[in-house]
Chain A
Amino acid sequence: MDAAPSLNRMLGPPQREALALAALARESAAAGVEQRVMHLRLSAISSSHNRLHHQRLLREALLPLLRPTRARLFDLPTGDLVAVSPPPGEHLDLVRAVMQKLLDGESEGGPIAQELRLPQQSAALLAVVESALGLAAEHVPVTPMQAEPVPAGAQAQAADILAAEAALAQADLSVHHRWQTICLLVDGGPGPQPLWREQRLAEADLEAVLLPRQSLHATPWLRRRLRARLDKRALAEWARPQELRSFSPSGLPLLPASLGEEEFLRLDAALPSAMRPQLTLGFSLPDILADPGAFAMARRFAGLRGYGTALDDLDARLLPMLTPDNFGLDKLKLRFSAALLALDGPGRAALEAALPAERERVVLTGADEPIAIGWGWERGISRFQGRVIEQLLSPP
């Protein structure tokens, strides 16, 4: 019980400030909050100009610039200072100008004042903190491009995931977003009627970019970790005012634990209660089984707040694992595959017996060929998602 306070007492103020700065960098990256950062490399000042009274003079030179602002100043164990300010932060430019003027040519290894931008360069800021804490030996490569070459297909390790997370902070994910529409398509009825749109990340493409030549196939826990980060990025974007203004019925597949994250709760707070039922949160069976406790909590919370819920992307062979109430989720999104066509009589009967009686709760996904629509209609399913639907919706 007392271990944490004891440890805290052992940490000197500069160490604490370095940890606080690291926390700020992570929060900024997670929430997409923009900040300007000025790293004042006082430790790089040549020794003849780096005595205590020089540092005092420098701090006094900084005070008038920082006093009327919202800047936060962090003392690092190395003696460096880091100022963090929300944009525009013109005063940081003044700080840099003063520092350059005072110390022009007196630093080693680059300019005395280095500017960073959060969240884009949070990895670089974390590297500064790590270095200040003497953890530089455990250096995280900032981008996968800088990592040492690895043999193709090598199993990813924890360090690779940390590097990928750092790279994610700067990555533009919009090119990896895929939208599909879930439509009502009734046999003999009119054309497809859009019900909601679903955003999904092209995970395989993204993994190839973030972890080139590496595989997450044999390390599913690491893949989940990366997906949790992707969830946070997606949720931070969904919570932006411009996104909320244009909100329409939507679906979003998430890890159950992501509902406990600040990014989701920020979206939850921003979304008017009348709009929450129009957002369908999808949980996949592997994710539910990997963290049943988080799923139980997520399902209750989603129910309390009025969100729609779905069991996402279910392999039909796993239908027997379901409870009759579909784990308490509103919808069942069943993945179509050619194997379903090859089922024998008993197999077909077992599958149909396991389907929810209320067929309006079922969505057949992966409807990439017309035969999927026919298979669904034969079983009373009239909600579909897939390339066939996208083709029907696109103008001729």
Chain B
Amino acid sequence: MQPIPQQPPPPQATIWATRPVAPSAQAMPAGEQTAPVPRRSAALNAALRRCQSDGSAGLVVAAAEWPQMAASLLEDVANTTGALVWRPSQGGFWLLGTNAGAARDTLALFESMGWPARLLLFPADLAVLDAALEEDAAPPAIPATATPGLIGIEDRAGGMHAASGHTLATIWRWQAGSPKLLAQRWMVEPGALPTPMGRDWAGHAHGLLASRLLHQAARRAWPAARKHRLPLLLDMPWMPPPKSLPSPPPAPPQRAVPDGCGHALVLPLAAATEAGAWAALAAAHGWQLAWAGLTPALAHLATPQRLPGRLFFADYSPLVATTVWPAPECLVLQGGEGRAALDFASQHGISLCSKVC
């Protein structure tokens, strides 16, 4: 790490505040041109000096999903211990210049929130900080805002080719040492209709594509790769129960699928407040129900005793593997084809949802 000057550099006068004044290379004598030294605040310089000079500690947090919340918690620690929260241009948050006890407590706090964090004990971890400072000195990247427009997204969804925006996934589980196919899920392809950041926009896009599936089902236009001997699961949008539903494809032969699972509508968990109405409507038209979007925090719902359904879809994560699921035979994990997920699933008789047949 370069020594930190004891006094902060005098502020440079800027006329155009959005454009920092850079020294002209032509104005410098030959041989004296050096890489521009990044301008750091006096507070950051003071915190870096503490990291260099005494046994202070720190923490580095990614918390990409909840950055403001993470920053707020770190600011609290910083205020009480005289530390600093540094936000480098490359993202993440660094708590610098606190004491080891506070850093450890904060680490425990962040782990309880499920945010990955790393404890920094200086001077041993100065190299980590150096690397981040070097990366921060690179020209800042302005977040790309060329997100697809929302205006007309409904028309774009309606204008997509019938075969795009959807995929046919396979529900399977390990049984007697070999994979056994249980059902197919005609599902919305994640990201097929890009939207700006935000769960609600993504949900709206998912709903638009799932509505197209429903329309195709009404026209009896089932996916070409459908296996007629397997039950078909159909992704549904989040919407109030409609007056009517299309009929499912012809029933598959009786098979040893979980609890006699038949053709099913896969509802987002948000629709669970109208589960009763959906169950009645689905049954009247020959469908069962399945639910998507289960998380460990709501694991208790993943059982037919709580929600009328045979299958419950959850995204795999290490937290999922440490959660007690009330009816593991009804659980279907998505996005977990690594060794850990496969082991967890086979150990508990859990099914997997995979695009690979």
Partner-B contacts on A (CB < 8 A): 3-5, 7-8, 11, 13, 16-17, 19-20, 22-23, 63, 66-67, 70-74, 135, 138, 140, 157-159, 162, 217-222, 224-225, 228, 257, 259-262, 265, 268-269, 285-286, 288-297, 300-301, 304, 315, 317-318, 320-321, 323, 327
Contacts and interface: CB of A to CB of B under 8 A. Distances in A.
Given A73-B16, A304-B109, A16 B73 contact: no
A289 B269 CA distance: 6
Contacts of B112: 300
A342 B240 CA distance: 25
A265 B114 CA distance: 19
Nearest to B195: A158
B72 A268 contact: yes
B270 A260 contact: no
A225 B201 contact: yes
B68 A290 contact: no
Contacts of B131: none
A74 B18 CA distance: 7
Q: Closest 4 interchain pairs by CB? A: A290-B270, A221-B203, A225-B200, A292-B295
Contacts of B65: 293, 297
Given A222-B200, A262-B68, A290-B199, 10 more contacts: A20-B142, A138-B152, A257-B199, A260-B66, A286-B273, A289-B273, A290-B203, A291-B199, A294-B199, A297-B69
B164 to A, nearest CB: 20
Interface stretch (B37-45, B249-257, B299-307, B329-337): B299-307
Contacts of A300: 112-113
B305 to A, nearest CB: 9
B113 A315 contact: no
A20 B154 CA distance: 28
Interface stretch (B143-151, B181-189, B213-221): B143-151
Given A66-B15, A219-B207, A162 B151 contact: yes
Interface residues of B, number: 55
A220 B146 CA distance: 26
B150 A220 contact: no
A320 B306 contact: yes
Most-contacted residue by chain A among B68, B109, B239 (CB, 10 A): B68
A292 B18 contact: no
Given A292-B297, A300-B113, A220 B68 contact: no
Contacts of A20: 18, 142
A364 B172 CA distance: 46
Contact of A290 (B238, B240, B276, B307): B238
B238 A4 contact: no
A135 B145 CA distance: 13
B75 interface: yes
A221 B198 CA distance: 11
Contact of A63 (B15, B113, B269): B15
Contacts of A7: 144, 146
B68 A295 contact: no
A133 to B, nearest CB: 10
B166 interface: no
B151 A140 contact: yes
B136 to A, nearest CB: 14
Interface string B263-300: 00000111011001000000000000000011111101
B273 A315 contact: yes
Interface string B12-34: 00011111000000000000000
A217 B240 contact: yes
B69 A221 contact: no
